Amino acid sequence: MLGSLTRTIVALLALFALAASQVRAQSPQEFYKGKLLTITVGYGPGGGYDLFARLVAKHIGRHIAGNPSVIVQNMPGAGSLIAANYLYTVAPRDGSAFGLFARDLPLLGIMGHNDKIQFDPRKYTWLGSSSDFSDDAYVMVVRDDAPAKTIDYMRTAREPLMVLGGTADGTSGADVPRILQQALGLNMKLVLGYRDSAAIFLAIERNEVFGRITDLSAIRASRAAWLKPGGGYRILLQFARIKRHPDFPDVPTALELATTEAGRKLIEFTETPLLTMARPFVAPPGVPADRAKVLQAAFMATHRDPQFLDEATRSGLYVSPVGPEQVMESLEQMSRTPPELIDRLRKILEGRGG
């Protein structure tokens, strides 16, 4: 009886090995034919990240052999950290899942100061970024009736009269204000806890907060009227711009406003991820190499697709794609940052000054 049981176990193991071999031998086209792919976006509907995710989902299937269907799954929370951790630790690693999260999370992952971060950004399967911010800007937009009309006023104000809104620690909307507060000596207050970008825009309109720091493309996509003459809002500065945006030649860049060398270095370092991975798309670690190449090629082909580009233009979204190799180069560059600069930034983001 024992011999019969042994033979049965051996036969089952052989079947399992054969099945595994067949799965490994499956071509990418065979794998993706009839497949349902999921793009997980770390924010709720309506914001810039969600708009990019849905636009990619609409077009990328045509550029993958097998023409799979693609859906978007919103996973908001903790400034998209929940989605980033999910993509790294839980999402399928077979090439059927990828996603989009906050542009500054890779930098925070390299810094290693946040124990809630469960990923090493260098180990994701990088697809690339939809934008490198060359046609975009990260701006401080405020209501016309806000107490501060200029950055100089924010520097000299005795009280933090300027109140800005954000989602959560670890997001650009929270971290960039803190960085600028230290680098430029701004006197302001930051209110966090809003669920997503749409909620912050609504809070500004309701006068709960005076403004926010966000990307120009997101304003143009969902609040374009704000930017028109007499629209009731103004832009006070531009971040992640080497030169002033051509549409806002009278608005200074953060680097122009820096008055100390330490402030300039801090701004230059923290602008790096914005300049290379403004809309970062990743798949989980460990995706089979042939499927990873298919996804990477499809991602770049999508961003050259005339239909995609036309729809992006009509939606007010800036497209200037960055490939996975360039993203990895940027991550390696950030990982070589002097420890003293990392330490200063860590203290700022932890609320301990700089």
pLDDT at position 172: 78
Q: What percent of the chain has pLDDT over 70?
A: 92
- DSSP class of residue 60 equals G
Other Cβ atoms closer than 10 A to 53: 27
What are φ and ψ of residue 40, in 5° steps? -95, 120
Q: How does residue 15 score in pLDDT terms, banded at 50, 70 and 90?
A: low
Tell me how far apart the alpha carbons of residues 193 and 320 are, in angstroms, rounded to a whole number: 31
Tokens 């103004």 identify what position? 234
Q: Which one has a higher pLDDT value, 185 or 276?
A: 185
What is the distance of C-alpha 281 from the center of its chain? Answer: 8
Tell me how far apart the alpha carbons of residues 60 and 95 are, in angstroms, rounded to a whole number: 14
Sequence spans of domains, the chain:
27-133+277-349, 138-273
27-133+277-349 carries CATH number 3.30.1200.10: no
The whole-chain average pLDDT of the chain stands at 90
pLDDT at position 188: 93
User: Quick one: tokens of 5?
Assistant: 């049981």
Tell me how far apart the alpha carbons of residues 27 and 214 are, in angstroms, rounded to a whole number: 42
pLDDT at position 104: 84
pLDDT at position 20: 46
Asked if domains 27-133+277-349 and 138-273 share a fold, the reply is: yes
Q: How does residue 154 score in pLDDT terms, banded at 50, 70 and 90?
A: very high
Query: How confident is the model over 60-110, as pLDDT tens digits?
Result: 999 999 999 999 999 998 889 999 999 999 999 999 999 999 988 999 899
Q: How does residue 197 score in pLDDT terms, banded at 50, 70 and 90?
A: confident
**By C-alpha distance, which of 220, 218, 213, 255 is closest to 236?**
213
Q: How does residue 295 score in pLDDT terms, banded at 50, 70 and 90?
A: very high
Query: How confident is the model over 241-272, as pLDDT tens digits?
Result: 989 999 999 999 999 999 999 999 999 988 87
Tell me how far apart the alpha carbons of residues 298 and 294 are, in angstroms, rounded to a whole number: 6
CATH topology of domain 138-273: D-Maltodextrin-Binding Protein; domain 2 (3.40.190)
Rounded to 10 degrees, the C-alpha dihedral 217/219/222/227 comes to -120
Q: How does residue 2 score in pLDDT terms, banded at 50, 70 and 90?
A: very low
pLDDT at position 196: 84
Q: What is the pTM of this model?
A: 0.76
- DSSP class of residue 171 equals S
Judged by DSSP in three states, 286 sits in coil
pLDDT at position 78: 86
List the strands of the sheet with 162-165, edge to edge: 188-191, 162-165, 211-215, 138-143, 233-239
Helix spans in the chain (H): 2-25, 28-32, 48-59, 81-89, 105-111, 151-156, 172-184, 197-205, 216-222, 254-257, 261-276, 289-302, 306-314, 324-335, 339-349
